[in-house]
């Protein structure tokens, strides 16, 4: 246990270092430096030099790289170049919005997808299951931003039922508590549905495949031959064995599911991590970019930790630690 923890910590550090280095290299490779990007080109050259000196851009690359590592090592993420505010504050503002949207979508996705997948596996081969499967496939095949745009077109444009962007209305401050909460909820529905549909389809597909694989096993045939009720065979004997791969997959793709919100947040102008990251990339706001990437790397580490823990708890065969 201690050794695996140590290995995991080493892996996490390696990943963080790789993320920082890759970001640094990419920023270095890009033509021009940050000062050119932010300043009006009509300003005299002295301004750019001042800015370069202020941001330390006039130093050689390897020194800047070491300085960056030292700052990050001591926990300093620095200030945003665009907003001139500490990066930590920006993240602190964006994180709740993302957790409210993606976190909830993730939970609901598994909460709805797992029962749906179990139902599909139990009814595999019937006409109704085929139809549901086709619907789920359609949901899975839709690009998220397109689905979001369709929803906006239909529900917020055509029928004018729901707001199409943001977290709250412009007059949110004047509303009471109840009306304010309702307002938030109304703003949440469209992005939530957009995120939820593909992720439910994705979870259900994996749950169905895993359960179907288990239902083929010899011990299930034995259980059926022993006249155990179908319900008992399904829930008591088949399902626990089929949960491990799904939960493992869930953990491994935790960052992927959260990163699915990158696009959705852009469509719905949702002020979360994904939008912050895309905007920072477009603005070349390197401290914010770096912080966002580190956040995703931390999610990766967390996800694989959760996956291994959950998998090992449910399936003793996975305790060997070799997933290949």
Partner 1 sequence: MVSPLHHGGPRRPGWPEGAIALALLLPVTAAVPGLLRLPAMLTTPATALSSWLGPGLAGLTWLAAVALVVVAAWRIAKPPAESPNDRGPSPWAQLRAKPRAVVGLCLVTLLVLCSALAPLLAPFDPLAPGTVPSLAPPSPGCWLGGDLHGRDLLSRLLWGGRVSMGLGLLSVGMSVGIGCSLGALAGWYGGLLERLITGTADLFLALPRLVLALAVLGLLRLSGPASLMAVVVVLGATGWMTMARMVRASVRSLADGPVARSARALGLPTWRILRVHLLPEVLSPVLVHATLNLGRVVLIEASLSFLGLGVPQPTPSWGATIALGREWLHSAWWISTFPGLALVGLVIGLELLAEAASED
Interaction site with partner 1 (CB under 8 A): 15, 18, 22-23, 26-27, 29-31, 130, 134, 137-138, 140-146, 149-150, 152-153, 157, 252, 255-256, 258-260, 262-263, 266-267, 277-278, 281-282, 284, 289, 293, 296, 300, 303-304, 323-324
Instruction: Find the shortest distance in angstroms from Cβ 306 to partner 1.
Output: 12
Closer to partner 1 at the Cβ: 28 or 49?
28
Q: State the distance between the two ends of the chain, measured CA to CA, in whole angstroms.
A: 20
What 3 state SS string does 133-153 have?
Answer: HHHHHHHHHCCHHHHHHHHHH
Nearer to partner 1, 128 or 323 (CB): 323
CB of 240 to partner 1, least distance (A): 25
Closest distance between partner 1 and the C-beta of residue 188, in Å?
A: 20
Which tokens is 273 given? 């991590």
Nearer CB in complex with partner 1: 48/252: 252
Report d(CA 112, CA 252) in Å as an integer: 19
Q: To the nearest whole angstrom, how small is the minimum distance from the Cβ of residue 44 to partner 1?
A: 26
Q: Report the candidate in 52, 50, 53, 47 with the shortest Cα–Cα distance to residue 35.
A: 52
Q: How far apart are CA 156 and CA 116, in angstroms?
A: 29
Residues 106, 199: contact at Cβ < 8 Å?
A: yes
CB closer to partner 1 out of 31 and 176: 31
Shortest reach from residue 272's CB to partner 1, in Å: 14
Q: Tell the smallest beta-carbon distance from residue 260 to partner 1 (Å).
A: 8
Q: 144 near 194, Cβ under 8 Å?
A: yes
Nearest distance from residue 174's CB to partner 1, in Å? 27
Residue linked to tokens 């109840």 = 178
Nearest to 117 by CA among 228, 247, 224: 247
Cα 288 from Cα 279, distance rounded (Å) = 9
The distance of closest approach from Cβ of residue 293 to partner 1 in the complex, given in angstroms and rounded to an integer, is 6
Are 238 and 207 in contact by the 8 Å Cβ rule? The answer is no
Q: Nearer Cβ to partner 1, position 96 or 130?
A: 130
Q: Which two tokens stand for residue 89?
A: 């504050």
Helix residue ranges, H only, 100-253 = 104-122, 127-141, 144-151, 177-215, 218-225, 230-232, 239-252
Cβ proximity to partner 1: between 175 and 281 the closer is 281
Whichever of 106 and 233 has its CB closer to partner 1, that residue is: 106
Structure tokens at 96: 């709740």
Residue 83, SS3 per DSSP:
coil
Measured in degrees and rounded to the nearest 5, phi and psi for residue 73 equal -60, -35
Task: Please identify, using beta-carbon distances, which residue of 39 and 298 lies nearer to partner 1.
Answer: 298
Q: Least distance (Å) from partner 1 to the CB of residue 149?
A: 5
Determine how many CB atoms are found less than 10 A away from the CB of residue 113. Answer: 24
204 vs 223, beta carbon nearer partner 1: 204
């Amino acid at each position: 246990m201690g050794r695996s923890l140590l290995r995991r910590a080493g892996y996490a550090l390696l990943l963080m270092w790789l993320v920082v280095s890759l970001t640094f290299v990419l920023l270095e490779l890009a033509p021009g430096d940050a000062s050119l990007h932010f300043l009006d080109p009509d300003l005299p050259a002295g301004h750019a030099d001042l800015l370069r000196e202020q941001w330390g851009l006039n130093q050689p690359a390897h020194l800047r790289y070491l300085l960056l590592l030292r700052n990050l090592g001591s926990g300093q993420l620095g200030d945003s170049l665009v907003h001139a505010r500490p990066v930590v504050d920006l993240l602190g503002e964006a994180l709740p919005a993302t957790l409210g949207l993606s976190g909830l979508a993730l939970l609901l996705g598994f909460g709805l997808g797992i029962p749906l997948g179990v139902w599909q596996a139990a009814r595999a081969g019937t006409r109704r299951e085929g139809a549901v499967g086709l619907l789920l496939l359609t949901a899975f095949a839709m690009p998220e931003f397109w689905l979001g745009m369709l929803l906006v077109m239909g529900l917020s444009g055509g029928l004018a039922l729901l707001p199409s962007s943001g977290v709250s209305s412009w007059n949110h401050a004047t509303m009471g508590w109840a009306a304010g909460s309702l307002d938030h909820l109304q703003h949440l529905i469209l992005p939530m549905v957009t995120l939820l549909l593909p992720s439910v389809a994705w979870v259900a597909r994996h749950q169905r495949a895993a359960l179907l694989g288990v239902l083929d096993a010899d011990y299930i045939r034995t259980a059926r031959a022993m006249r155990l009720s179908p319900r008992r065979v399904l829930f008591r004997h088949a399902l626990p064995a089929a949960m491990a791969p799904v939960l493992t997959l869930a953990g491994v793709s935790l960052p992927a599911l959260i990163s699915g919100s990158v696009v959705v947040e852009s469509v719905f102008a949702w002020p979360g991590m994904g939008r912050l990251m895309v905007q920072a990339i477009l603005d070349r706001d390197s401290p914010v970019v770096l912080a966002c990437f580190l956040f995703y790397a931390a999610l990766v580490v967390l996800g694989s930790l959760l996956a291994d823990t959950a998998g090992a708890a449910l399936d003793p065969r996975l305790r060997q630690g070799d997933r290949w």
